[in-house]
Amino acid sequence: MKQLLTAEQIEEGVTRLAAEVSEFYAGKTLTVLGVLNGSIVLVADLIRHLDLPVRVGVVQASSYRGPADEPGPLRVELAMMPDIQGRNVLLVDDIFDTGNTLSTLLAEIRGAGPTSVRTLVLLRKHGRKAVAMEPDHVGFEIPNEFVVGYGLDYQDAFRNLPYVAVMEPGDGL
């Protein structure tokens, strides 16, 4: 695999994102909602850098199943989401690809009555956007490549890599 972002670059990006979020929500309590499963590594690193009171919860959304490297129908599960009515919410996802996942989740979360909702993604992929929205906080811009590592997977593998890499032919399981 070809490394796209090193562990050091990711650490710097997450630290920068945490500073942006801490400044924006200064003096407020924040509920961080991570999108399972891809955002778990990002959420864990991000919340350790936030300089404000934080609640953490998760939602589940999936559009990749099996050997696919193109998204399929989106499945959303909100059963694990904490009560967010009257709360400031930061929805955290690993990647903004077409934007369908974040856009759909944003609509669902707004329906739960939060005071505010903002979005944060580690990666924004160029050339695939299919929605009008943009994430509020973006760690890195990347080319239109299938990437793994730092929470992102291929068939549930490679999430544990400390870097982000582009999958090349023959890199699969």
Residue 70 in contact with residue 98, Cβ under 8 Å? no
Q: Give the active site residue among 45, 93, 94, 97.
A: 97
Structure tokens, 129:
């956007």
Active site residue 153: no
Sign of CA dihedral 173, 95, 43, 149: positive
The Cα–Cα gap between 100 and 108 comes to 12
Q: Which of 91, 129, 97, 94 is nearest to 110 (CA)?
A: 91
Tally Cβ neighbours within 10 Å of residue 25: 19
3-state secondary structure 96-138: ECCCHHHHHHHHHHHCCCCCEEEEEEEEEECCCCCCCCCCCEE
Catalytic residues: 97
